[in-house]
Amino acid sequence: MYDLIIRRARLADDTLTDVAIADGKIAAVGQLPAEMSASRSWDLAGNYRLSAGWIDAHVHCYPSSPIYHDEPDRVGVDSGVTSVVDAGSTGSDDIDEFYTLTRSTKTNVFAFLNISRIGLLRQNELADMSDINKQGVKSAIERHSGFVIGIKARMSSSVVGPNGIKPLVLAKEIQQENQQLPLMVHVGNNPPDLDEIADLLTRGDIITHCYNGKPNRILTPAGTLRESVQRALKRGVLLDVGHGTASFSFEVARQAIALGLLPHTISSDIYCRNRMAGPVHSLATVMSKFFTLGMTLPQVINCVTENAASALRLQSKGQIKPGFDADLTLFEVRQGPQVFADSEGQSAAGEQLLVPLAAVVAGEVLLTDEGKAAHVFDL
């Protein structure tokens, strides 16, 4: 007997499928026999969507951070997101506390460790090179293998101060000394220049804030892709959205996507302020903005499931297949006029909004407020 069977769920490509879950894993997928039994069963009758659990590859959810903070479950399962990755809020000084806190959350929480030991204790965490302690980083990674899944370097002038590209050079050394863990690089105001940054990056490295509207953007003033970024992409460097308060431009995204530069991952860079006051609000809202930019539902969903799992090396997540973790997101696509805002104060009109109804984490069903209000599921 299975723990849960979801019948006639509509996938992003509009096909219908059944999913059986047992012991926190996906046990069977397809048109399952009617006599197959489970402790609980939902029949969605093709009216609601199902995908692998949404993964937000860039959030800030360390509650003790003095600058960017939130509660993991607020930006996670409450919003239909089954896994979140905190992108550098903590360094080796406070990663232990963050790890302990996340053991009691419903959301799967992972971390990109800030290469600065102090994390986001202050905005210029890489201005003092003595705060980059290789041994401290190595020890933290070893203590929290499976929780710390990568490292983070914020490469903008307000962060690095007079140090320019030096922190990124050290970040690459740290990466090479620690199983080539994924490296996420924040791109903001220069110096250092994006060309310097891109030329140091290698396969699997992640450029976040890829559609920012600042002068240090991926496009030239003529609207073409920078040659350094083109070379980086050919080497296998990945583009992550990382929307945030100040790092997403509809205009840049529109131009880039017209050039064929789709994001590999869509992430929110969410924390309490931009969640409550915007322009982020939720991962679902950020995902919905990409419909206005011409992306399809399967493309958008792929950016927060299979692509995200691949970039983050979460090998048991991101796909609805037997043996994978039973992390799922149930949602609907609501039709109607929408107005979305970017980080530049610009707006775009849309016609579709993604509304998460439930997060399923290791087989446990967690309804969102919208899911509870809809009375869709009898739990």
49 strand-pairing partners: 10, 331
In this prediction, residues 61-67 reach a mean pLDDT of: 97
The per-residue pLDDT for range 286-319, each reduced to its tens digit, is: 999 999 999 999 999 999 999 999 999 999 999 9
pLDDT number for residue 374: 81
- List, for residues 108-137, the tens digit of each pLDDT value: 999 999 999 999 999 999 999 999 999 999
**In 98-246, at which residue ranges do the beta strands (DSSP E only) sit?**
108-114, 148-155, 183-187, 206-208, 238-239
Q: Is the pLDDT of residue 64 over 60?
A: yes
Question: Which residues are annotated as part of the binding site?
Answer: 58, 60, 152, 186, 209, 269
The string of pLDDT tens digits covering residues 316-341 is 999 999 999 999 999 999 999 999 99
Q: Are 291 and 350 in contact (CB under 8 A)?
A: yes
For the stretch 253-271, pLDDT in tens is: 999 999 999 999 999 999 9
The confidence band for 91, taking pLDDT boundaries of 50, 70 and 90, is very high
- Kindly tell me if the per-residue pLDDT of 379 is higher than 60: no
Per-residue confidence band for 378, with pLDDT thresholds at 50, 70 and 90:
low
Residue 376 has pLDDT above 90, yes or no: no
Cβ(284)–Cβ(80) under 8 Å? Answer: yes
**Rounded Cα distance, 135 and 110, in Å:** 21
List the domains of the chain with CATH numbers.
Answer: 2-51+322-374 (2.30.40.10), 54-312 (3.20.20.140)
State which amino acid sits at residue 243.
Answer: H
Q: What is the mean pLDDT of the chain?
A: 97
Apex CA 377: angle with CA 373 and CA 379, to 5°? Answer: 105
Q: Label residue 375 by pLDDT band (50, 70, 90).
A: confident
Largest CA distance in the chain: 68
- Residues of the binding site for Zn(2+): 58, 60, 152, 186, 209, 269
Which backbone phi and psi does 35 adopt, to 5 degrees? -80, -5
Record the tokens describing residue 300, joined without a space: 């958008």
Query: Which of the four pLDDT bands, split at 50, 70 and 90, describes residue 24?
Result: very high
pLDDT single digits (tens) 146-160: 999 999 999 999 999
